Structure 1
Amino acid sequence: MEAVVHKANTRGKVDFGWLKSNHTFSFGSYMNPERIRFGSLRVLNDDIVAPGRGFDPHPHQDMEIISIPIKGALEHKDSIGTSGVITSGEVQVMSAGTGIVHSEYNHSEMDPVNFLQIWVIPDKRGAQPRYDQKKFLPEDRKNRFQVVVAPKESAEGLWINQNAWFSLGNAEAGKELQYESKNKNGGVYAFLISGKVNINGTELSTRDGAGFPRTDLLKVNALEDSELLLMDVPDIQ
């Protein structure tokens, strides 16, 4: 099947002063009936939060939430007793399950923080709320894909309540990386954090995204030094 391409400049945009965000899929005031989700991938927000500002305590339920700081540090606190800071190079997962309240603030009073906020629809409702975070070494994804999120049964990465696999890759210009899909009934959504790549004949530039439904193999050719996030997700009924 053909790739579903979402160019960076076609994303929904909001600017509240303290928050500037680009939404790949419908979220908040941005509603696009052609961009509701890709399989179980429901939200992909590219957020920039001003120094010392952030999201006040707010609730979530029955959603797997992944945060990936690109630049800066994000401070987290929630109703199950977790508090801490995640920085660039780390990944955070939160299973909202039966219900959780959390806040997220820019940890710095001087510099903005840029992070990806991603929501995945879980494989079951009413799970026990939980939180985890982990640092991943960038050298372990040089010219290869590094698993950072996986199902509970996997020994790789942080786990969530879904058969979803998130992988980061740093490809040098001229290199080809290959990725074999684990969800033949779903697909792989690629989000290019930086650089320029060609994936199975589809060219992407910085902050472009593309979904590859029911694919077996992705061939990623780096046209420039590039950083890429792959989200391998099942479809949902």
Structure 2
Amino acid sequence: MQAGAGFDTHGHRDMEIISYVLEGTIEHKDSEGNVQSLPAGEFQLMSAGKGIYHSEYNGSATDELRFLQIWIQPNEFGKEPGYQQKNFGRSSGITTVATPDGRDGTLQIKQDASLHQLILEPGTERSFEILEGRNLYVHQVQGTLQVGSSSLDAGDGAKVESETKVLLANRSSEKVTALLFDLP
């Protein structure tokens, strides 16, 4: 998003909206009284519930804003709106960001889903366990990630089904960042 650009006040209902800032800072304001700045590396979860109005924009006059916005239909409808924001750091490995119960300081999402941040240094790998009846969706954010036998570049996605474990590897010379969604 170009400097100074944004989305005027608009409404949403019954949706879990996750924003993840890659570069720059989002300025957020909503009808529940939340006025926040969301800098690069932070996650925001807005539960629209029975209805919320908000605006978001790039508050910088010079810097571009790049962010991902993920929309997930909730498993509870007509509930009170909510807002959560947190920086989970940039440590290598798998960091849990959102869970249905908000355990261990994660954002609490109204869905049977979990979101994880994956950061791999060059030449490293991690295994991700997939419980029976679950699936994994990988959204590649930065760098090139090996997901099993497939290679993902920034912007690519992959769904892993009918597996109990998947190997996630960085075979490149640059740091890799991806989002991992554990879904039914």
TM value normalised by structure 2 = 0.93
Partner of 1:162: helix, strand, or coil? Answer: coil
Q: Equivalents in 2 of 1:161, 1:61: separation in Å?
A: 13
The alignment status of 1:185 with 2:137, answered yes or no, reads: no
Query: Structure 1 residue 59: deviation in Å?
Result: 0.7
- Which AA in structure 1 matches 2:44? Q
Q: Equivalents in 2 of 1:174, 1:155: separation in Å?
A: 29
Matches within 5 A, 1:86-97: 86-97=38-49
Q: Equivalents in 2 of 1:213, 1:156: separation in Å?
A: 28
Matches within 5 A, 1:75-86: 75-86=27-38
The residue aligned with 2:95 is 146
Query: Structure 1 residue 215: deviation in Å?
Result: 3.2
The residue aligned with 2:152 is 204
Query: Structure 1 residue 156: deviation in Å?
Result: 4.1
Q: Equivalents in 2 of 1:147, 1:119: separation in Å?
A: 18
The residue aligned with 2:178 is 228
- Identity value in percent: 37
The residue aligned with 1:126 is 78
Partner of 1:57: helix, strand, or coil? Answer: strand
The residue aligned with 2:56 is 104
The residue aligned with 1:161 is 110
Superposition CA RMSD, Å: 1.4
Partner of 1:155: helix, strand, or coil? Answer: helix
Structure 1: gaps spanning 5 or more residues:
1-48
Q: Equivalents in 2 of 1:216, 1:107: separation in Å?
A: 44
Contact 1:147–1:156 (CA under 8 A) maintained in structure 2: no
Query: Structure 1 residue 181: deviation in Å?
Result: 2.5
State the Cα deviation string for residues 183-207 of structure 1 (Å, max 9, x = none). Answer: x434211111111121121111122
Contact 1:150–1:156 (CA under 8 A) maintained in structure 2: no
The alignment status of 1:60 with 2:9, answered yes or no, reads: no
Query: Structure 1 residue 233: deviation in Å?
Result: 1.9
Contact 1:188–1:215 (CA under 8 A) maintained in structure 2: no
Structure 2: gaps spanning 5 or more residues:
none
- Which AA in structure 2 matches 1:146? T
TM value normalised by structure 1 = 0.73
Partner of 2:104: helix, strand, or coil? Answer: coil
Go from structure 1 to structure 2 and tell me whether the alpha carbon gap of 1:186 and 1:121 turns closer, same or farther (over 3 Å shift): farther
The alignment status of 1:74 with 2:26, answered yes or no, reads: yes
